[in-house]
Amino acid sequence: MSLNPLGEVKYRLKLASEHLERAERAFTLNDWVAVVSSAQLAVENFAKAVIAVFEVPTWSHDPSSQLLRLLSKAPSHLSSRLAELATLASEVAPEHGRAAYGEPSRGLTPADIYRKEHAADMLSKARRAKALAEEVLSGLGAIHGK
């Protein structure tokens, strides 16, 4: 697969932003499962937008290790931002499966698991991931400052 880095960055940013917007709408509807699911995908794709500057993003729902491997390739002044974005991606990754399947071994559906507090936390993480990705991408010259 050949990669057009700028095209992939723009695609991932658009995809992540759409997931974040969906999470925001779901929050107003008190649909906590949809908030968690969409927010997780937003964080994942904001991280993958940054990864795309350097290499093809993994298909994993947890791109944190790939992002951390790229720390040495990025300017040092962006290291803490990249590390924070990787931490967010790692923290929210398990919610991908839980938001889809719940916890079958415990007989819990996603609706049994998530409450407003969970949704608010995930939404906050997705918003932070957006800010971090935009800051890093701007610092790398991959996007113009917002």
- The CATH number of residue 122's host domain is 1.20.120.330
Q: Is the pLDDT of residue 144 over 80?
A: no
Domain assignment present for residue 58? The answer is yes
Taking a C-beta distance cutoff of 8 angstroms, is the pair 142, 9 a contact? Answer: yes
**Could you give the CA distance from residue 59 to residue 139 in angstroms, rounded to a whole number?**
25
Q: Is the pLDDT of residue 145 over 60?
A: no
pLDDT for 143 equals 74
**Could you give the CA distance from residue 121 to residue 30 in angstroms, rounded to a whole number?**
14
Domain assignment present for residue 77? The answer is yes
Domain assignment present for residue 40? The answer is yes
Domain assignment present for residue 144? The answer is no
- Global pTM reads 0.93
pLDDT for 17 equals 99
**Could you give the CA distance from residue 42 to residue 117 in angstroms, rounded to a whole number?**
18
Q: Quick one: pLDDT band at residue 146, thresholds 50, 70, 90?
A: very low
- The range of the structural domain enclosing residue 122 comes to 5-139
Q: DSSP letter string over the chain?
A: ----HHHHHHHHHHHHHHHHHHHHHHHHTT-HHHHHHHHHHHHHHHHHHHHTTTSPPPSSS-THHHHHHTGGGS-GGGHHHHHHHHHHHHHHTHHHHHHHH-BGGGTB-HHHH--HHHHHHHHHHHHHHHHHHHHHHHHTTSS---
How many distinct structural domains can be found in the chain? 1
Strand partners, 108: 103
For 66-111, the pLDDT digits (tens) are 999 999 999 999 999 999 999 999 999 999 999 999 999 999 999 9
For 26-75, the pLDDT digits (tens) are 999 999 999 999 999 999 999 999 999 999 999 999 999 999 999 999 99
Domain assignment present for residue 114? The answer is yes
CA distance to 69, 77, 90, 125, per residue, from 142 (Å): 19, 16, 24, 22
128 or 60: which leads in pLDDT: 128
pLDDT for 1 equals 45
